Amino acid sequence: MMARTATGTSTVRVTRSRRSALWGLIGAAVVVILLATLPYVVFADVTDLLVNAFILLVLASMWNLLAGYCGLISVGQQAYIGVGAYTVLVLAQNGINPFIGIPVAVLVAAVIAVPVSFLVFRLRAEYFAIGTWVVAEVFFLVLIRFRSLGGGTGTGLPGLALIDPTFRQALTYWSALAVAAAALLGTYLLLSSRMGLDLTAIRDNEVAARSVGVRVTWAQRIVYIVSAGGCGAGGALLIISQLNVLASAIFSVSWSAKMIFIALIGGVGSIEGPIVGTAVYTVIQQTLAQFGAWYLILLGAVAVVVAMFLPRGIWGVITDRLHLQVFPVGYWLHR
């Protein structure tokens, strides 16, 4: 491709990805396969820890899609976590295997997100955050009115009692791994597609994107729906791994707090960021959770500092220094 510049002409080659990125993808596939063998190799407490990590990874990736690529900061994705969990509950109460409920939860969350998006998109970006929070509160308040779903005191998840516990834990682990891998792969495919180009443009400069014809609201709505679906999967995995659900916990804004913390630390606006962030968060949680409220104070303070001084997170620093991208979604210019 020849490009004409004011100082003359020069030849530039434009490619989708560098060869190092291909190795990155192969490496990721290998990692997934290795992770899949873990239930045969380690005890259940390790896989349980990883289940929680995978769930957080999915949630953080979904939040990151909204914030990093659409500039929409949501503090209310827990609405769809709850929707996902309660979908699985309702299905299980009607005799359907909870594991089969996972994709259904994704669908239900996504469908519910459609009319909600029309409501919350009426709010300008700064108020959008609280608007999503209100929606989550409404979902919570409506749901606790249903005695059959446990009301405000929670209820257990039926349908898994007859499965051997070790096998159930392994199955939960594989489901979580599959959902996490699917979420990352789906995000990668979305961002490498034409839509992804639109989203990156929106991320960089919404006004400019609109002026060249990018259908900004349409793209944002798609991302909002995808993000809701992903959070629905997270909720489904939560109720399966916990075997019960408590409305005040599943609809709690602390889920948003975790998503935000992970995405911020790892790096908003990249696929790798949430992976790094989840790893860091899991380590912090394991070592410091015993200190109760102090650990949350630390988390909040770190979030403030990172947001102000390290806006692209840890992965952002790595990318800038090493020009490394495991999941390349941009274009490379070679001279």
* Binding residues for other proteins (CB under 8 A): 6, 67, 71, 73, 75, 118-119, 122-123, 125-127, 129-131, 133-135, 137-138, 141-142, 253, 257, 260, 264, 293-294, 296-297, 299-304, 307-308, 311
Q: In angstroms, rounded to a whole number, what is the distance separating the alpha carbons of residues 41 and 69?
A: 38
Taking each helix axis from N to C terminus, what angle separates 165-192 and 44-70, rounded to the nearest 10 degrees? 20
For other proteins, the closer of residues 130 and 163 by Cβ is 130
Torsion, Cα of 107, 30, 34, 85 (10° steps): -10
Q: What's the Cα-to-Cα distance from 319 to each of 34, 106, 273, 282, 324, rounded to whole Å?
A: 26, 32, 10, 22, 5
For other proteins, the closer of residues 192 and 210 by Cβ is 210
Q: In angstroms, rounded to a whole number, what is the distance separating the alpha carbons of residues 187 and 279?
A: 19
For other proteins, the closer of residues 167 and 294 by Cβ is 294
Q: How far is the CB of 209 from other proteins (least distance, A)?
A: 15
Residues in the chain: 335
Q: How far is the CB of 309 from other proteins (least distance, A)?
A: 8
Q: How far is the CB of 205 from other proteins (least distance, A)?
A: 10
Q: How far is the CB of 120 from other proteins (least distance, A)?
A: 8
Q: In angstroms, rounded to a whole number, what is the distance separating the alpha carbons of residues 127 and 15?
A: 39
Query: Of all residues in the chain, what percent are helix, strand and coil, respectively (each to 5)?
Result: 75, 5, 20
For other proteins, the closer of residues 6 and 322 by Cβ is 6
Q: How far is the CB of 308 from other proteins (least distance, A)?
A: 6
For other proteins, the closer of residues 42 and 333 by Cβ is 333
